[in-house]
Structure 1
Amino acid sequence: MTFIKLGDYNRMTVVKQVDFGIYLDGGDEGEVLMPARYVPEGCKPGDELDVFVYLDNEERLVATTQTPLAKVGDFAFLKVSWVNEYGAFLDWGLMKDLFCPFREQKMKMEKDKGYIVHVHLDKESYRIVASAKVEHYFDPSFPPYQHGDEVDLLVWQKTDLGFKVIIDNRFPGLVYKNQVFRDIRTGDRLTGYIDIVREDGKIDVMLQPTGRQMTMNLSDVLLDYLESHGGVCPLTDKSPAEDIYSKFNVSKKNYKKAVGDLYKRRLIVLCDDCIKLRK
């Protein structure tokens, strides 16, 4: 028995070809149309395709080989294409825009502005919809992370403390502003590192690994740089923090640790205006 995951990717078999596209085997849901514009060249009955299934303007199942910006269960940063008396319609990379009703908006959404939303199936209408009330959709279980774990981040919103982020498409977290050494904004996707999971489940996140792991990683990067730039780097441990960040995307503190590590290993020579590979 075949069950279709609406608003998600499905592996489906081509049943037949018609002038306006192909039909795919939807099991109990019947045949599902894929319009001709999305049909891969050379596709024929019996072929299996990985397709995204959603609802067209008449609420019928339709398949596409396009890749949307989000699927059901995802948090995403989406821009408003248009607004009417019922709500906002968001561009999620497919022909039919994604609906966000007014009741699911924290503030009235405006055309051409972007918002963090959660994509889900409406329990009453069985339609794919978006909600800007993302805090209602976080995983309620206790976060399974340990200090230093690498995670995927979606920047949610700026606060007085720093930036709220969504971790691994599941949990809320916070990056304190003293951990931010570059411009970030709502909708950015970043790699982060768990600092601490508190007893109440709240998570503090860093944008850089810490301790020996960070030092060794940056030491390798710095060695590669020296080897590919004639054995010389114009940045010392006294260089401006912004110059260091611009070149290596790290804080001055972590850069100094990496330089110190290479010096202790007798791999570099420290000069007044640069560092050099030891010959």
Structure 2
Amino acid sequence: MDLNKIGTIQKLRVTKKTAEGFILTEGNDEILLPNDQLDDEIEEIGQEISVFIYYNREKEIIASAKLPEVSLDSYGWAEVEEVVPHLGAFVNIGLDKAFLVSKDNLPIIKEVWPKAGDYLFVSLEKDKKGRIFAEPISEGEVLEDLEAAPDSLLHESVIGRVYRSTKAGSFVLTGEGYRGFIHPFERKMEPRLGETIEGRVIDIKDDGSINISLRPLKQEVMDEDASQIYDYLVDQNGVMNFTDKSDPNDIRKTFQISKASFKRALGKLMKDDKVEQKNDQTVLKHNE
């Protein structure tokens, strides 16, 4: 079999049936299509079928009639099967083996590496020795096939997957094919490469790409902060040594929010008659 055809989809002729599967040929070359790699029943000897050529786990060249979306010629989403710190991430493209995405193509910060169950947008590549591996899509290739988002999407929610992670921010592709960007200011935590996110469209660019925020609206933020403070009070038996005059650094260290956010949330709890401040402390009203 021509090694240049490994990692590609080829049309081959079925010549005979064996216990292991079917023998396919192209000229004088023969290749096995194992029984577990059949997609549909072979109707007759002599018919031509499309198959994917690759090395299996035993490093044998075989054919699969289960045609993957991902190949040397095409990109697709592949589920992360396993992450090995010194190697990278192995992705499943629908065959009986996983393909490696090298650690060199993953973010420098390992905390944002993908986890099993995430999805990477990849194609297959071949090295000088003919070995096949997976490689994430490049920014240029995304821009070549950009789907422009409509103006009506502004302020709407979108779901997408992170296909690129950089210091500047996270780049996302939605199910509709829109390219999105999440600035570090528009998130509380940096999403993983391959993670599925849901966010709000806050801008639509001239090229049809979108800016996405993972932060809730201001009112939602205040409710979230107020809930955090209330839960903290409950854990502290209804009394805490924090008030609207507390040190900003102490507030941030304990609640991971600014003093301004703390004061707004505390004000909401007081307005809702859930807490009060006295003797340089904040207490739950029902604690009296």
Q: TM-score, normalised by structure 2?
A: 0.50
1:74 touches 1:118 (CA, 8 Å); kept in 2? Answer: yes
1:98 touches 1:130 (CA, 8 Å); kept in 2? Answer: no
1:130 to 115, 131, 135: 135
Amino acid at match of 2:63: R
Query: Residues 23 and 98 (structure 1 numbering): CA distance in 2 closer, same or farther, change over 3 Å?
Result: closer
What corresponds to 1:113 in structure 2?
A: 104
What corresponds to 1:193 in structure 2?
A: 199
TM-superposed CA distance for 1:252, in Å, is 4.3
Query: Residues 213 and 242 (structure 1 numbering): CA distance in 2 closer, same or farther, change over 3 Å?
Result: same
What corresponds to 2:165 in structure 1?
A: 157
Query: Residues 145 and 133 (structure 1 numbering): CA distance in 2 closer, same or farther, change over 3 Å?
Result: same
2:39 to 10, 20, 26: 26
In the alignment, structure 1 residue 228 sits paired with structure 2 residue 235: yes
Query: Greater shift after overlay, 138-147 or 259-268?
Result: 138-147
| Whole-Å separation in 2 of the counterparts to 1:203 and 1:220 | 31
1:176-218 per-residue CA deviation (whole Å, 9 max, x = no partner) reads 3444666x48738485632512252332333421222222233
Amino acid at match of 2:90: D
What corresponds to 1:277 in structure 2?
A: 284
| Whole-Å separation in 2 of the counterparts to 1:227 and 1:241 | 22
| Whole-Å separation in 1 of the counterparts to 2:262 and 2:104 | 38
1:147 touches 1:193 (CA, 8 Å); kept in 2? Answer: no
| Whole-Å separation in 2 of the counterparts to 1:233 and 1:248 | 12
TM-superposed CA distance for 1:171, in Å, is 3.7
TM-superposed CA distance for 1:98, in Å, is 2.6
In the alignment, structure 1 residue 212 sits paired with structure 2 residue 219: yes
| Whole-Å separation in 1 of the counterparts to 2:178 and 2:228 | 31
| Whole-Å separation in 2 of the counterparts to 1:61 and 1:164 | 35
Query: Residues 119 and 178 (structure 1 numbering): CA distance in 2 closer, same or farther, change over 3 Å?
Result: closer
Query: Greater shift after overlay, 190-199 or 254-263?
Result: 190-199
1:79 touches 1:114 (CA, 8 Å); kept in 2? Answer: no
2:64 to 48, 58, 61: 61
1:158 touches 1:186 (CA, 8 Å); kept in 2? Answer: no
TM-superposed CA distance for 1:115, in Å, is 2.3
2:275 to 231, 246, 268: 268
Query: Residues 154 and 272 (structure 1 numbering): CA distance in 2 closer, same or farther, change over 3 Å?
Result: farther
| Whole-Å separation in 2 of the counterparts to 1:241 and 1:148 | 34
TM-superposed CA distance for 1:233, in Å, is 3.9
Query: Residues 195 and 278 (structure 1 numbering): CA distance in 2 closer, same or farther, change over 3 Å?
Result: farther
Could you say what secondary structure the match of 2:76 adopts?
A: coil
Query: Residues 194 and 119 (structure 1 numbering): CA distance in 2 closer, same or farther, change over 3 Å?
Result: same
Amino acid at match of 1:140: E
1:20-45 per-residue CA deviation (whole Å, 9 max, x = no partner) reads x9948622579xxxxxxxxxxxxxxx
1:119 touches 1:129 (CA, 8 Å); kept in 2? Answer: yes
Query: Residues 192 and 248 (structure 1 numbering): CA distance in 2 closer, same or farther, change over 3 Å?
Result: farther
1:81 touches 1:90 (CA, 8 Å); kept in 2? Answer: no
| Whole-Å separation in 1 of the counterparts to 2:279 and 2:183 | 34
1:75 touches 1:119 (CA, 8 Å); kept in 2? Answer: no
Could you say what secondary structure the match of 2:169 adopts?
A: strand
Identity %: 17
TM-superposed CA distance for 1:277, in Å, is 1.2
| Whole-Å separation in 2 of the counterparts to 1:261 and 1:248 | 16
1:73 to 74, 77, 85: 77
1:73 touches 1:119 (CA, 8 Å); kept in 2? Answer: yes
**Structure 2 residues not aligned, in runs of 5+:** 1-19, 21-33, 44-51, 67-74, 108-119, 126-131
How many residue pairs were aligned?
A: 208
Could you say what secondary structure the match of 1:27 adopts?
A: coil
| Whole-Å separation in 1 of the counterparts to 2:89 and 2:202 | 35
- Aligned-residue RMSD, C-alpha: 4.8
Query: Residues 81 and 225 (structure 1 numbering): CA distance in 2 closer, same or farther, change over 3 Å?
Result: closer
1:52-92 per-residue CA deviation (whole Å, 9 max, x = no partner) reads x99653243399xxxxxxx933598987977xxxxxx9632
